[in-house]
Structure 1
Amino acid sequence: MTISAEVPVAAARGGPVAGAGEHGRRNAEEGTSAADLVLPLVAVGGVGVLAGYGYVRRTRRARTRTTPGVVSPQPPVTPLPVLERQAGAALVQADDCLRTSREELAFVEARFGTGAGGGGEGGATVTEPFVRALREAERELSAAFAIRLRYDRGVPEEDAARRHALAGIVGRCAEAGRRLDAEAPAFDQLRALEEELDTSLGIAEARFRELAGRAGRVDAATTTSTVTVTVTVTGYVEQAKDRLVFATTHLNQARQTADLGDTGTAIRHLRSAEGAITQADVFLNDVDRLANSRTAAAALVPAALTGAEAELAKAEMARATPQPPSGRLHTQLTHAHSTLAAVRQELTGDSPYDPLDALRRIVQAMLPLGAGRDGVLGVAAWLVGRSDVGSADGFVATHRGAVGVAARTRLAEAELLLATDPAAADEPASEARETAEQDVRVHGNPYAGAADDRTGGVGGAVLGGILLGEDPDGGPPLSFGGPATRKRRGLPPT
């Protein structure tokens, strides 16, 4: 602020004060009185006081809040726990978007002949942009999970670097979502549900009938089986049937509303049914996969046990010294001996046993001794790791409405290890499954028990992330796309 060098002078009054003497009149005529000199000084002093007061006010405001044009010397800092929750929510949302997008793309591939058992060249061409978008989004999400995994292990250590890591997670997730959002309009154009609804309904209904028959067969097989079903798939057939109840309700409603000309509502019912059909398939696949894995494990246990016993003998010979082995090595050898002896007793006994668990114990007992990654033990490790990773992934997929970031991070780690070090994939996969189950127990389900004709299966649909759970009826069904587009098939506000 610039102040003029010219000091204002008080204006002269219209005349002398009544009753003034001759001396006063003489001073007024000859020059400036003393009062005239004091007034400018008072004015200048007042300007200085006001300027100082304004400066103090502005400084106080700058220190307490941000005002336009004033930079706060101490900007507010978001606490790390808040940033961690934001990054975790971004990971969960991005993972959900990817899972939903894969599921809906499978119905498009079935229509154009590029799904399982298909392979049509023309279909592959029309769906290739969406397959590419999914792969790019998966790379971003995989990188985000890798950052989160290091973060959970304390890397980096400095607060500033940890803030940067969390910002990187959010940025990667945002890019994954943006990539899917960008393809959503073209995806809808390819599906053309508004014009080809009957075709898509026919595909969903055929898939539904196939799964309904399969659920009955799987249920009968598990009921009459002499081998006890393990806890990992207990209740899966019932949950598959629950999803199918939900699917048949919405397929019927889709047909009815389509006949009435309400295409938008019919599409929303179709998307709800497609999501339920996909998850019913996951439940039944998990039961079948476990049965197949246990059959393969039962055939492999004798060879794995023999191979482990040979490796154990070599380990003892290689470390043989005049002195007894160290305390740690002695413990490892003792544990391996007792584990192999217990498995051998189960194998030769009359009681049923879990061959997958037997393989797991063999591999884990031999890993500390440097064995378990090659030969027959390597095959055993891969079989166990694949089974455990598949079990954890299926559980997250069908309960993702309640599963948090910790379980998903461990699952991402297990999936990476399965391709690089199968023997090490078992532990994070098992932890992912256990953490996800705990999330479901803590979360609960406010829609559980809704079983009338209109809302049957809504509880499972919300728990499975088929419906977003924002409304009393379960909320909108989710579709191919990122955070900005995945709810576009939702019901309009009433």
Structure 2
Amino acid sequence: MPLAPRLEQTPSSRPRLPRARRFAALGAVSALVTLVAILFSPAIASADAPFRLPGQITDTVGVLDADQQSDVQAAIDQLYDEHKVRLWVVYVPDFNGLGAGPWADQTAQASSLGDRDALLAVATVDREYALIAPDGLSEITSDEAESIRVDAVEPALREEDWAGGAIAAAGGLGDAMSPGQGMSVRTLLIGGGVVVVGAGGVVLYSRKKKHDRTRAGIEAARSISPEDTAALTALPLPTLDERAKEVLVETDDALRTSQEELDLARGEFGEQATASFTAAFDTARATLAAAFTVRQRLDDAIPETPQQQREMLIDIITSCGRADRELNERVQEFDGLRDLLINAPDRLDALTRDMVALTVRIPDSTQTLATLQTEFPAAALASVAHNVTMAEERLAFAERAVADGRDAIALPPGKQGPAVSAIRGAEGALEQARTLLDAVDHAAEDIRHAIATLPAAITDVEAGIAAAAQFTEQGGDRLASARAAAEA
């Protein structure tokens, strides 16, 4: 938001700050034109009323990392060492509805700032800032103050260089107070965005350093799960924007590759075997089209609020991320099919060995079942009475499937897809046959265990029936029905 300077007299009721030069945000229309890009802070839950500053750097938004705080502190220290001026810097989400100037004035008063204290207050969500300096800095002219604002502080904020804005303020104040130099910030704006201020040559964050930080932020963003919206919300808007662009390109590339893989899979394994792959591809294609529509809305001439931008960018990242994950899963399934096909001869040989081993068990299981019938009543054997017959049926199916699989792998490459379904069918049938025969072999043990535990189970049910009788009226029909079933 553009920030227009005002020079005004401070009320006499503020003896500690008798006169202040204030750089406050004015104008709503031009705000969206010139400083809309300075916002990158995540959504903030609450506003900050004017308060007593705990130190010379106060960051309630979390826009400065440790290195940036160290650089701001160095600039503040240099200003004090050379000119005995204390610069206080505070970052808040907004000015609590007061506006930049009043908020800064009240904060300065609450903090008991004196004649050698200056204050830079920045609201990252409100898109406002104020820079106030007391009468003790009367050597700074109005033109110099304007140059600090226009040529040093605002360019840094416009580049979302929050630390740079503070360092620019410190360097600009110091430079303007240097004897014989005057305010030379204009001449110190060097190509590429590097600003050198102050006798000690404090170097503001250049465009290259900002670019490096942005790149580092994007690298970190790549490690965030697309479905972790909380982590995505915490990212700066520029990082979100760059990541969303990357995700669009990645998803588009994934679709192109998946189209080729899907065409190959259909030709090799058929429509039925690739139905899930086809569904995931169609969903991803529709998702990408919707994401491009959102991107176009972000890039058109109609501006969105920072919060709207954030929500739209997160929607692009999460929706494309889910679609890409689904495609990857289907591609992995396809790769599994291809691996199975490559190893089909060995798999078929192993299935044949398993089939022989289970076939050998049939006579023994038949004899075991006959023995069980002499020991236990038919009701006790009802769950396994037909297991041997069903196992023989499964073995016959597996034998046919193995034969079909061998026929399929004898076909030319690209036509061998039916071998996959044949192998999987044989594997399923053999597993079922194995389970059926195992149940017969363990039936006697299972029945005896049931007999041994039956008295305790009966006692437990009887206790439950007795307890239910006490709550028949309160329990209603459901309790009465359960009690009748237990009694039966």
TM-score by length of 2: 0.34
| Larger gyration radius, structure 1 or structure 2 | 2
TM-score by length of 1: 0.34
